[in-house]
Amino acid sequence: MNFDFSDDQKLLQKTAREYLSEHAPLSLCRAVLESAAPYSETLWQGVAQMGWLGTAIPEEYGGAGFGRLELAVLAEEVGRALAPIPFSSSIYLAAEALLLAGSPAQKQTYLPKLASGEWAATFAHAEQPGECGAAAITTKFAGGKLTGSKVPVLDGAAARFAVVTATGNTGVVLALVDLTATGVERTAVRSIDPSRSLAGIRFNAAPAELLGDVGAGWSTVQAVLDRAAVLMAFEQLGGAERAFEITREYCLSRYAFGRPIASFQALKHRLADLYVEIELARSNAYYGAWALSNDRPELAVAACGARAAASEAFELASAEMIQLHGGVGYTWEFDCHLFYRRAKLLGVALGSAHHWREQLMERLGA
């Protein structure tokens, strides 16, 4: 047993952190948030050049052919930086869906474009408020055409193509759609975190192709979500840790009643509790990473734990961040809100913590 990343993986982490601290300071996230741009094209290209997008994509499809552990390391760093790029949508969701269910031709067409950063992609699933299981899907796939509407779609404006959940005549299917094709209509949707844009996408008999076998259905969707959940958990963990570090520093430097506020026991205990929550989330994420990278049957359960713990840890860390900063924490100028927004955006992107706990019980209770 060995429950840690390897020295090579730690080196990758160090390089990534250095790169992002130079090329993705929090001011970059803020710049995208305050502009109309859906993401930072410069950072996206930079990250592509670093080879991160193709980390877990096999060499034959233009990737680096590393494993999911390397991808998890990068996800955490992307999370720490609140990087305003469609990394999760393109890599944890679209690329993973292709790797899991794509035909050789589909992989050949799409994966090299993702690995090189030429195309961003997204996963279009939600259609209306509420948790979206198989029954909530009304978008139809028939005869190579897709009809229906998906909203909100994370990174929908940045994406060149989408993996879309739909119902075909055999039940739930995944479809691949070129978002520049005729019959696709995109509209911007205001986001709780404009550093990651949302879109509504309407498909009017848009040309689409099946991703995966005809009868594979909901289990494929679930498998894609499980894989993304683990990787997303690392991104959330990164965000939580950074929020925690900034908060700790602030508490040490801010004085009240003649003392650093970090010397008040009420605050010390809250910071201790927050640290503990983040450590527990990290441990659950590690287990998920192990299950994912080894294609273990434990993934179904591990993904739930990793995802629910990380969602809660990030949200807690970002809310405590504002609280412990006091009034300045609630200003636009301070960075706290960037974390608070991102925590919620990531926290519901693949279904809420509540939903993943329900999934967990489903799987443990069976």
For residues 17 and 73, give the distance between their C-alpha atoms in angstroms, rounded to a whole number: 10
CB 214 within 8 A of CB 168: yes
260 lines the binding site for other proteins (CB under 8 A): yes
Query: x/- string (CB under 8 A) for other proteins, residues 238-257?
Result: ----------x--xx-----
Q: Which is nearer to other proteins, 168 or 305 (CB)?
A: 305
Residue 1 found at the interface with other proteins (CB under 8 A): yes
Pattern of binders to other proteins over 309-338, x per CB under 8 A?
Answer: x-----------------------------
Q: Considering the complex, what minimum distance in angstroms separates the CB of residue 83 from other proteins? A: 24
- Going by C-alpha positions, the residue among 9, 85, 87 that lies closest to residue 53 is 87
The count of chain residues that interact with other proteins, using the rule CB under 8 A, is 45
- Residue 26, classed as helix, strand or coil, is helix
- Residue 299 beta carbon to other proteins: minimum distance, rounded to whole angstroms: 12
Q: Minimum distance between the CB of residue 254 and other proteins, rounded to whole angstroms? A: 12
DSSP line for 56-107: TS-GGGTS----HHHHHHHHHHHHHTT--S-HIIIIIIIIHHHHHH--HHHH
10 lies in the site for other proteins, by CB under 8 A: no
Residue 342: which residues within 8 A CB-CB, separation 6 or more? 29, 82, 193, 195, 196, 239, 314, 318
- Nearest one of 310, 162, 161, 184 to 236, comparing CA atoms: 310
Contact window for other proteins (CB under 8 A) among 133-141, 208-216, 226-234, 259-267: 259-267
Q: Which of 226, 243, 212 is nearest to 314 (CA)?
A: 243
What CA dihedral angle connects 22, 23, 25 and 26, to 10 degrees? Answer: -170
Identify residues 61-120 at the interface with other proteins (CB under 8 A). Answer: 69
Q: At its nearest, how many Å lie between other proteins and the CB of residue 4?
A: 5
Is residue 118 within 8 A of residue 78, CB to CB? The reply is no
Q: How far is Cα 315 from Cα 229, in angstroms, rounded to an integer?
A: 16
Q: Which of residues 263-302 bind other proteins (CB under 8 A)?
A: 263, 265, 268-269, 271-273, 275-276, 279-284, 286-287, 289-290, 293-294
Determine, following the binding rule CB under 8 A, whether residue 365 of this chain makes contact with other proteins.
Answer: yes
Q: Which residues bind other proteins (CB under 8 A)?
A: 1-6, 69, 248, 251-252, 259-260, 262-263, 265, 268-269, 271-273, 275-276, 279-284, 286-287, 289-290, 293-294, 304-305, 308-309, 354, 357-358, 360-361, 364-365
